[in-house]
Structure 1
Amino acid sequence: MKTIRWGIIGCGDVTEVKSGPAFQKADNSTLVAVMRRDADRARDYARRHGVPRWHADAEDIIAAKDIDAVYIATRPDSHHDYVLRCAKAGKAVYVEKPMAMTYGQCIEMVTTCRSHGVPVFVAYYRRAMPYLLKVKELLDEGRIGRVCAVSTSFLERLPPAADIAGGALPWRLDPVFCGGGIFFDTVCHNFDLLDFLFGPVIEARGFPVNRVGAYTPPDTVTASYAFESGVRGSGTWCFAAERNAESNEIIGTEGSIVFHPFSFAPIRLIRAGQVTEFPIVNPPHVQQPLIQTIVDELNGKGVCPSQGVSAARTAWVVETILSGAYL
């Protein structure tokens, strides 16, 4: 089995712990080079993480003969361009979520990678984490009977006033860089894991609104959706709430499962009034299990559960829900 040689485009915060070290710790994987437009920061990252080489130009990663696969960890507005360039250079691609700014861009990325014979994977890493795999195990074992519905609630306080004062918004709240704001950047994780558990969403309707006016994208969204499997879903997301809280409840004919895919509080199985808790410990580098599946697939062993095709489905759901006017 060969060692997959990686390069990173965009070695920012997400690569410090969540993902970057995993490329060196996964079996049959090594991190050859990193890139950041700020040369000093690229050099510092390489020094601190023991990476042999650093660059300030993405083309040095894309064109490198000693790199087999590229991890794109930049803002969503640049994903489309970098993925197409990597595909044309014959490099396998692992791109951060959200996959791109629009569903149309996602489809073009999948099509271009396919035409150049390279795979595209997306960083919906919860699909490979022990936490979500436990939820799936409980469902597959039929512990709550036939699944009827799933309900999602996500509450979050507004960002500190200093972070949004004077129009100087963080990139996640700037539509130029991140489409529909926090819903676009964060809630895509939730829809992707629901796709993993229940299959594709075939119909969705959303009601996005900006109730507080602290920034342009919606701060409150409600939605309902139908899965191809027959399961029905609904959700409420408010990013101007007085507290932080999040949960998903899967309702079945013989019980329910409550889980928390962001805080990772213990999973609760509720049957006949009895509650069984399953505390699950996260790996230190949460993307490592998914990265391992990518390395294994590139070596012809197994299949990564987070492909460009499934991520594009998630992009369609998010885009459809956000298609309503922001009031």
Structure 2
Amino acid sequence: MKNRKSTLSLLAIFMACTITVKAQDTRLRLGVYGLNHDHILGFFSQMKKGSANIVGIYEPSRPLWEKYKKRFNLPDSLYFDDVNKMIKARKPEVMLGYNAVGKHVDIVEVCAPLHIPVMVEKPLAATLVQAKRIEALSKKYNVKVLVNYETTWYPSFQYIYNVVNQDSIGKIRRMVIRDGHRGPKEIGCSPEFLEWLTDPVLNGAGALNDFGCYGADLATWLMHGQRPIAITAIAKHYKPSVYPKVEDDATILVEYPNATASIEASWNWALNLKDMEVWGERGVIHAFDGKSVQTRYSGVKENNYSAVSIPKALQAPNNDPLVYLTAVLRGQISGEGDQASLAYNMVAMEILDGAKRSIAEGKRIVLQP
């Protein structure tokens, strides 16, 4: 009888431990650095749904914290006005950057020596100099630095990438990538966001950085990380009374040995736009948005495009930034050679830097090998 009781006790302990293990939170412990980037709204929405495990938030502005606290019913225990205290107290596994682009380097300066990976909202940095510093820190401390773009999670863009890599339209000859909207002020971005987004130092530029970065990253992805040979760009200032410090429209021509990319970034589109067209030797694929694509091949009657199709939904872990980030940090995927990777974003920063130099100098900029 005594042995039976002992067996039952051991069984009870085993079951209790099993339940505890199953109840353990397997989500990443997310630290947030800054709240003045409006894209943070998406992550707070995920937090409310339970898919984002935010363990600490650093924000130097107490009024800005109070604004988000009230909107999302956040506990004061999450808030810190000292990033080092937040890291020590909350021990985040990764830091998410939602501050000014020109301050992304500050996050990596803090996190890299502590071996804490970082994912920032696009673009990687405000300048190429900052990007190179981020890259140096990443290499020195062997820590991941990733960049989140909305377009990374578009089924239509992934469909184009797959078709091109299946050689369905032949080698890429031309890419036309258009991104933007009516303007950040016009669509109602927050004052805190506008303050740095329209600043030439804190954002590095205006529409050129804000929306040109999408095209620079996508072209680099489609070209498998190949560096361009030259950049030519023009900038327009259609609304100086609204955006006195920065350009609100930019066109960037990116030259490769056997292809070109035209990147059209603007705060002056008549509607919201994330559109990509890729021309190959034998046809063209056009994504009108994140969901719909249309194709046309040579040898088919003129104007005979395919019907607009809806590509299949992306599969995990490439369907969501948090799912992707978890897979990278858990070692399930490498996080290399894709739109979020540091290597591809360094090339994208070279493109943006070349564009700014071309505008300033009024000439074609040849990149050094």
Q: Please tell me the TM-score bracket, short chain as reference.
A: 0.7 to 0.9
- Within the candidate set 270, 274, 280, 2:296 is matched to 270
Shift of 1:40: 5.4
- Give the stretch that moved more between structures: 208-217 or 132-141: 208-217
Q: Which has the higher strand share?
A: 1
Residues 73, 156 of structure 1: alpha-carbon distance in 2 compared, 3 angstrom cutoff: closer
CA contact (8 A) 2:156 2:290 kept: yes
Q: Which runs of 5+ in 2 are unaligned?
A: 1-24, 189-193, 363-369
Q: What code does the residue aligned with 2:295 have?
A: L
TM superposition score normalised by structure 2? 0.73
TM superposition score normalised by structure 1? 0.82
Give 1:143-154 correspondences, 5 Å limit: 143-154=168-179
CA contact (8 A) 2:219 2:261 kept: no
- Amino-acid identity (%): 17
Q: Which runs of 5+ in 1 are unaligned?
A: 164-168
Q: Which has the higher contact order (CA 8 A, sep 6+)?
A: 1
Alpha carbon RMSD of aligned pairs, Å? Answer: 3.5
Give 1:126-275 correspondences, 5 Å limit: 126-154=151-179, 156-157=181-182, 170-199=195-224, 200-202=226-228, 203-214=230-241, 215-227=244-256, 230-240=258-268, 247-260=275-288, 263-264=289-290, 266-271=292-297, 272=300, 273-275=304-306
- The Cα offsets for residues 146-195 of structure 1, whole Å up to 9 and x where unpaired, read as 321112345754566899xxxxx643222132121122112201211121
Partner of 2:350: 316
Partner of 1:166: none
CA contact (8 A) 1:15 1:21 kept: no
Q: What code does the residue aligned with 2:310 have?
A: P
CA contact (8 A) 1:206 1:221 kept: yes
Q: Does 1:14 align with 2:17?
A: no
- Within the candidate set 98, 105, 129, 2:123 is matched to 98
Counterpart-to-counterpart distance in 1, 2:111 and 2:291: 38
Residues 170, 243 of structure 1: alpha-carbon distance in 2 compared, 3 angstrom cutoff: same
CA contact (8 A) 2:97 2:121 kept: yes
Shift of 1:303: 1.9
Partner of 2:323: 292
Give 1:77-116 correspondences, 5 Å limit: 77-116=102-141
Counterpart-to-counterpart distance in 2, 1:245 and 1:83: 31
Counterpart-to-counterpart distance in 2, 1:65 and 1:238: 40
Shift of 1:87: 0.7
Q: What code does the residue aligned with 1:175 have?
A: P
Describe the SS at the equivalent of 1:322: helix
Q: What code does the residue aligned with 2:292 have?
A: P
Q: What code does the residue aligned with 2:253 have?
A: S
Q: What code does the residue aligned with 1:319 have?
A: D
Counterpart-to-counterpart distance in 1, 2:95 and 2:180: 34
Partner of 2:333: 302
Counterpart-to-counterpart distance in 1, 2:322 and 2:214: 16
